[in-house]
Amino acid sequence: MRFVLILFAILLIAPKNAMAGVNVVTSISPLALLVKDLGGDHVAVTSLVPNAGSIHHYSMRVSDRVAVDRADLVVLVGAGLEPFLGKLQGLDAQKITRLDQLPNIVSLDNNANDSNDEGHSHDAAIDPHLWLNPTNVELLADAVVKKLSELLPSEATQFQQRLKAFKIQQQQALVSVNLDKTRSYFAYHNSFAYLLSHYGIGLQGVLTNANESRMGMRSLYKVKQAVQATDNACVLVQQSTKKLSEKILGDVSFAEIDVLAGQRQYSSYRDYLTAMLKAIDDC
């Protein structure tokens, strides 16, 4: 009886993550949603960047580094999105999965819409918001399930089943919305083209360059003229950039996109994707 009580006490004080099977750390919440969908109760997922935080201003704390060191799997975007990657030097490369390093990813040239006249330089060759492209999400899901199956072979079959369900759910979310191709879409930055490209839609103009610093005055004026020249413009922005976009463009229709999944709680990756698509559709 005494042994049973001791064992029960140990279980009570054991770290929650230790009981989940696989301890996973992701850089941002959308990746955490993906991992949780794929791993279910067999994974404990921690996202480094707080839901209300900004990836651009995030600074890794000592506790975050400890969490990364203890993780069985670390899932990142790469492509310059996470400025703290340099602090992960010395980490076992085998436990890191980076979206930007997967074969056959779809990427956008960081300078594709960079027509600014102030000569800004850029650190990354591609736009880092890779997870906004549905094809990239499937590639990442494949890579994550492969890693989870290696870490927990006894659940490999279940991981594969969850992967199949995940892909079906993503496709269901994508076909549930039929974005209007006759509208003129603009955006605060080029990353939204990842999402629109699935529907064969391109951006007519953007307000910032690759590193999200504002375009030169001549370029901004051209975008404003283009927006005002059409009566069906829709401008894609994040909550943090909406006021500035309104100040530049005036009274136009905006779609507020929760890119980092930080404005509310999402039950799944499908829930997150559906919310972004609905925001555009309702614009």
DSSP calls for 42-80? GEEEEESS-TTS-TTT----HHHHHHHHH-SEEEE--TT
pLDDT tens-digit map of 174-189: 999 999 999 999 999 8
Six-digit token pair at 7? Answer: 């064992």
Give the span between the Cα atoms of 177 and 172, in whole angstroms.
9
Q: Which residue do the tokens 């880092």 mark?
A: 128
Mean model confidence pLDDT for the chain: 84
> Is the model's pLDDT at 268 over the cut of 80?
yes
When pLDDT is averaged across residues 101-126 and rounded to a whole number, the result is 64
The alpha carbon of residue 96 and the mean position of all alpha carbons in its chain are separated, in whole angstroms, by 17
Task: Give the span between the Cα atoms of 191 and 114, in whole angstroms.
Answer: 12
Confidence of residue 213 (pLDDT cuts 50, 70, 90): low
The answer to whether residue 206 scores a pLDDT higher than 60 is yes
- DSSP run (H or E) holding 1: none
Rounded distance between C-alpha atoms, residue 92 and residue 68, angstroms: 10
**The predicted structure's pLDDT at residue 123:** 46
Q: Which of 62-71, 115-124, 236-245, 260-269 has the lowest mean pLDDT?
A: 115-124
How far are the Cα atoms of 63, 75, 185, 226, 280 from residue 205, in angstroms, in the given order?
41, 32, 8, 8, 16
Q: Could you give phi then psi for residue 249, rounded to 5 degrees?
A: -100, -20
pLDDT of 208: 81
Most confident segment among 157-161, 178-182, 184-188, 190-194: 157-161
Q: What pLDDT, in 10s, does the model give residues 56-90? A: 678 888 898 899 999 999 999 998 888 887 778 78
pLDDT of residue 215: 59
pLDDT of residue 251: 87
Mean pLDDT, rounded, for 98-121: 69
Q: Which two structure tokens, joined as six digits, stand for 244? A: 């500035």
Residue with tokens 């929650």: 16
Give the count of beta carbons closer than 10 Å to the beta carbon of residue 131: 23
Which has more pLDDT, 155 or 93? 155
Q: At what angle do helices 156-175 and 269-281 cross, to 10 degrees?
A: 10
CA nearest 206: which of 277, 115, 123?
115
Report residue 24: phi and psi, to 5°. -120, 135
DSSP tag of 213 = P
Residue 23: which residues within 8 A CB-CB, separation 6 or more? 17, 43, 44, 46, 70, 71, 72, 73
Residue 172 pLDDT exceeds 70: yes
Give strand pairing partners of 97: 75
How does DSSP classify residue 133? Answer: S
The CA–CA distances, whole Å, from 21 to 34, 36, 123, 212 equal 17, 12, 37, 39
Average pLDDT over residues 262-280: 95
Question: How many alpha carbons fall within 13 Å on the CB side of residue 106?
Answer: 16
pLDDT of residue 248: 85
Sheet holding 73-76, edge to edge: 43-47, 22-26, 73-76, 96-98
pLDDT tens figures, 214-255: 556 777 778 888 888 888 999 999 988 888 888 888 889 999
